[in-house]
């Protein structure tokens, strides 16, 4: 029998009425003849409330205990979905991450999945049951509960689908698909019928909140089709797959943007003191994500390296740099706030030169300064003043005629 994995996010689990709707969606797939796994995130703002309570008790909460607390949120929602399914007359069982066989590395709060033993899920399938798995969690090699951090539930869903060799993953969210830009900020944004793994990965890394990059990477690695669809309205969503039909031959197929970007600049007295490998190794070891990197070596001036990080990682990045100042050998560090990143993405850019020049020209004509630039085969990102972010996104959406995208 073919399998399907369905994931529901926290916004779709905020009330018992919504949980009843989730149960109905799982039943539809079961009645179609699929073996069904439902993966749940934590209900509504449960996780925030739990963390708030822990912080009130201690300023230095153990990460192990924090994981135990955080894991209860998705366990709660998984049990409630199972109860709703049972009330509808269907045999259903809820499983924690460790019961579902999810093995992670030893790190707490932001663990990675190492392996999934689906034998217990298979046993429940053999009994005709719908299986509901608490997302965002697993167990490490010391037999401690771990949580997966941001994007944990959708990453869990794709990983389970890969282990089960499932037909596809359905991601139910509060949006009805992937758009050429955020429709709340770009008025002429259109929904895409399909999007490639590579394009979705760039969008996810560049500010889109629809699907976490970890989930996209897994889907690409194991070639798992993913449909992103609405939990509120019955409409066709956006299909995520390897190759897509170029919609109206658009070179650029999406605009993404991200606020609260900070530019950190580290300076050295001499080029011989600078080691890019050392500085970015230390940041990586502390799980600090660095994005755009620019090194400046100019005769007569002290060499510098600038890079961007997100606002929430700023304090930790400063701490790491300060603690490692002697070993890294830099003489000063400076930063600039009030920045944002705006990006254009499209597989067609690889074979169409001049896209970046067109982007820069439009921003110049709009009077929007470009402070940093990063490129790949299928994207160009610029750092601009944050108060110009939305205007830049709308201008680029118009420049590349994205309102002409084929949508449903």
Beta bridge partners of 109: none
**How many H-runs (helices) and E-runs (strands) does the chain carry?**
12, 18
Confidence of residue 262 (pLDDT cuts 50, 70, 90): very high
CA 11/CA 173 separation, integer angstroms = 7
Q: Output the pTM of the full model.
A: 0.84
Confidence of residue 3 (pLDDT cuts 50, 70, 90): very high
CA 384/CA 360 separation, integer angstroms = 12
Confidence of residue 249 (pLDDT cuts 50, 70, 90): low
CA 99/CA 119 separation, integer angstroms = 10
The token pair at 20 is 């009843």
Single out the residue of 186, 152, 115, 140 nearest to residue 39, CA to CA: 152
Report the pLDDT value the prediction gives residue 246, as an integer from 0 to 100: 55
Answer yes or no: are the C-beta atoms of 107 and 71 closer than 8 Å.
Answer: no
Q: Where are the alpha helices (DSSP H) in 15-62?
A: 16-31, 46-57
Domains, the chain: 3-174 (3.40.1160.10), 255-404 (3.30.2130.10)
Q: What is the mean pLDDT of residues 237-242?
A: 92
Please enumerate in sequence order all residues whose Cβ is within 8 A of that of 360, keeping only pairs 6 or more positions apart, or say none: 370, 382
Distance of alpha carbon 350 from its chain centroid, rounded? Answer: 24
| Residue 117: other Cβ atoms inside 10 A | 12
Higher-confidence residue of 86 and 212: namely: 86
* 248 pLDDT higher than 60: no
Per-residue pLDDT tens over the stretch 381-407: 999 999 999 999 999 999 998 887 654
3-class SS of residue 318: helix
Per-residue pLDDT tens over the stretch 121-173: 999 999 999 999 999 999 999 999 999 998 999 999 999 999 999 999 999 98
Q: How far is CA 245 from CA 241, 248, 348, in A?
A: 11, 9, 11
Answer yes or no: are the C-beta atoms of 218 and 162 closer than 8 Å.
Answer: yes
CA 393/CA 399 separation, integer angstroms = 10
Beta bridge partners of 6: 38, 170
Confidence of residue 299 (pLDDT cuts 50, 70, 90): confident
């Amino acid at each position: 029998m073919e399998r399907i994995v369905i994931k529901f996010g926290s916004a779709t689990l905020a009330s018992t009425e919504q949980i009843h709707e989730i149960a109905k969606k799982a039943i539809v797939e079961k009645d179609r003849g699929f073996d069904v796994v439902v993966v749940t995130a934590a209900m509504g703002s449960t996780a925030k409330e739990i963390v708030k309570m822990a912080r009130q008790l201690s300023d230095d909460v153990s990460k192990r205990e924090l994981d135990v607390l955080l894991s209860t949120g998705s366990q709660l929602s998984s049990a409630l979905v199972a109860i709703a399914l049972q009330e509808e007359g269907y045999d259903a069982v809820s499983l924690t991450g460790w019961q579902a066989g999810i093995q992670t590395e030893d790190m707490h709060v932001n663990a990675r999945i190492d392996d999934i033993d689906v034998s217990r899920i298979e046993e429940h399938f053999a009994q005709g049951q719908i299986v509901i798995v608490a997302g965002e969690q697993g167990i490490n090699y010391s037999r401690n509960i771990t949580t997966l951090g941001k994007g944990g539930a959708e990453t869990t869903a794709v990983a389970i689908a890969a282990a089960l060799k499932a037909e596809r993953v359905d991601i139910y969210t509060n949006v009805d698909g992937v758009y050429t830009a955020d429709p709340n900020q770009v008025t002429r944004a259109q929904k895409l019928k399909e999007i490639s793994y590579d394009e979705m990965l760039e969008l996810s890394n560049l500010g889109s909140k629809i699907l976490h990059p970890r989930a996209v990477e897994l889907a690409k690695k194991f070639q798992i089709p993913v449909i992103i669809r609405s939990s509120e309205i019955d409409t066709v969503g956006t299909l995520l797959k390897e190759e897509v039909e170029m919609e109206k031959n658009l070179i650029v197929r999406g605009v993404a943007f991200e606020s609260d970007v900070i530019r950190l600049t580290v300076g050295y007295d001499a080029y011989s003191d600078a080691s890019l490998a050392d500085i970015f190794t230390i940041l990586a070891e502390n799980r600090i994500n660095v994005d755009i990197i620019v090194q400046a070596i100019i005769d007569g001036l002290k060499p510098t390296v600038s890079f961007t990080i997100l606002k929430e990682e700023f304090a930790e990045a400063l701490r790491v740099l300060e603690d490692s100042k002697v070993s890294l050998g830099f003489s000063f560090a400076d930063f600039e706030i009030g920045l944002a990143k705006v990006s254009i993405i499209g597989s067609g850019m690889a074979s169409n030169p001049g896209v970046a020049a067109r982007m820069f020209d439009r921003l110049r004509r709009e009077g929007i300064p470009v402070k940093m630039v990063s490129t790949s085969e299928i994207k160009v990102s610029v750092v601009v003043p944050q108060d110009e972010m939305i205007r830049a996104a709308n201008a680029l959406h118009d420049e590349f005629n994205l309102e002409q995208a084929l949508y449903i």
